[in-house]
Amino acid sequence: MDSVAIIEIHPPGTARQAGIDKWNQQRATRGAMKWTDQTTLRRIPRFCEQCTSETIAWPAPATSTLNGVGTTLFGGADPCTRCGSVVKRLYFCVLFIPIWPLPARFRIITLKRSITGESARYVGRRFPFSADDPYGLNTRQGWFATQYKAEADAAMQAKEAALSVPAPPSQLAEHPELRGERYQQAEDYWESGEFDHALPVFEEVLAAHEAVLGADDIATLQLRQRMAEVYLEAGWPAAALALAQQTTHHFVRLLAPDHPYTLLALDDCIVAREQLDGPGRAEIKALKAELTDVEEDFGEDHPRALRTACALGMAQLICGRVERALHELEKTLGRSERSLGADHPDTEHVREEFVTACRFAEQSGKLDEAQAAVSARERVHGPDAPETLMAMGDLAQHYASSRRHRGEAVELLRKTLERCERALGPDDPLTADLRRRLEETS
């Protein structure tokens, strides 16, 4: 990350500075209460730069055995003196004895060991398939050779394409007032390992960057990525996850999925989830607690509350709580449009996550989830928007797949076709498609 310094833009005594001071004081007290008795919280080690560059961000596989039969990570080659990681291969084992090497090799930092069959815990990064053939599997089996070569070629092409994409120019050079001692103070705290002291200063600096440069300026996004790292080191994985997810989205949009900035933010997402014991109930619980705290201190329209609510909605979607996810993301999108504006980059992030949740619900094959998605689209996009009309047509297909609901399918298609003809015209491709569906269903 390029070094960027900043002076304090909000002088003491202003309403915003008073809010920052209040937040810092409350967070310090709340943080002590929140984590003192939480023995499950672990500060996840980070991989060094060299180990990161030669591997791919990938959660280490869960390993467990039943009566000695299952999977295990075996070996300990090439130990790294900087981050302490070692190279292990995933094996299928019988009677706790590794029998067959599986085509997956990882750099591993062990968090919890087990020799009793209980699942061990690791943080890991996977080697690309092209570098993962010490046993000659890709010469004995043609499928492995094809798979390895395809992934290696794709990875190389993606890396070359990502590196060739120039970063959009930052507006930082036009604002020399943003180069000052306040940012340097935060960096000094960071370098000395005083993360609790660095956190409030970085938050202040980030707010100033967002106000002056914008939310999707490269300098702002790099600062957000650093903030996610500070949250991780300070023991706030839920805040780190929400910020890293948002930052990753912006880097993908502005740069590329395989750009180094994007991969670094994605790594922060993985590490945050490791601290929260992976996607699941623990992640949802932590995000809910974080959201409650931020809303109490700053209100539900604060940018941090909005990104936390968005992360909560996506966590619920991953866990199969589809209707809850739709409800959370719809609320968050409305608040973001109201407080940040419909064209704000962070609002666009929430909008895309909402659309993702809708598509998931519409393709899940569950009628109640598809109905919930159509209703949510109708409220967000409007009853005559193409997105809503297309979703209504897909819902009619759900109805048509059951004889019991065929009548409802015909009625819904007629209603949708009337809206489409009125809003888009009789010659629109969507109108023609709905007309065809109605003829086939009637």
Q: Is the pLDDT of residue 264 over 50?
A: yes
The full length of the chain comes to 442
* Domains parsed from the chain with CATH numbers: 1-29+173-257 (1.25.40.10), 56-127 (no CATH), 303-441 (1.25.40)
- The per-residue pLDDT for 16 is 41
Tens of pLDDT, residue by residue over 368-420, are 899 999 999 999 999 999 999 999 988 888 788 777 777 888 888 899 899 99
- Contact at 8 Å (CB) between 123 and 274? yes
- Contact call for residues 259 and 329 (beta carbons, < 8 A): no
- Helix or strand or coil: residue 340? coil
Condensed to tens digits (0 to 9), the pLDDT of residues 140-192 reads 444 444 554 565 566 556 666 655 666 678 888 888 777 778 888 888 888 88
Six token digits for residue 366: 């569950």
CA–CA distance, 183 with 423 (Å, rounded to integer) = 52
CA atoms within 13 A on the CB side of 308: 27
d(CA 125, CA 60): 7
Distances (CA, A) of 434 to 312, 418, 440: 35, 10, 10
Residue 1 has pLDDT above 90, yes or no: no
- Order across the sheet with 56-57: list the strands: 56-57, 121-126, 97-112, 86-94, 69-77, 65-66
Res 85 pLDDT > 90: no
Q: Can you give the pTM of this predicted structure?
A: 0.70
Residue 153 phi/psi, 5-degree rounding, is -65, -45
Distance separating alpha carbons of residues 50 and 336, to the nearest angstrom: 39
Least confident of 40-44, 85-89, 205-209: 40-44
CA 233 from centroid of its chain's CA atoms: 18
Decide if pLDDT at 22 tops 60: no
pLDDT of residue 151: 57
Instruction: Please provide the distance, in angstroms rounded to a whole number, between the alpha carbons at the two ends of the chain.
Output: 61
Banded pLDDT at 102 (limits 50, 70, 90): low
Mean pLDDT computed over every residue of the chain: 77
Has residue 134 got a pLDDT over 50?
no
- Per-residue model confidence (pLDDT) at position 14: 43
Percent of the chain with pLDDT over 70: 72
Q: At 3, is the pLDDT very low, low, confident or very high (cuts 50, 70, 90)? A: very low
pLDDT band at 39 (very low <50, low <70, confident <90, very high): very low
- Per-residue model confidence (pLDDT) at position 101: 62
Secondary structure (DSSP) of 199-258: HHHHHHHHHHHHHHT-TT-HHHHHHHHHHHHHHHHHT-HHHHHHHHHHHHHHHHHHS-TT
Cβ–Cβ under 8 Å, residues 112 and 99: no
Higher-confidence residue of 81 and 377: namely 377
Is the pLDDT at 126 greater than 50? The verdict is yes
Burial of 397 (0-12, 13-18, 19+ CB in 10 A): middle
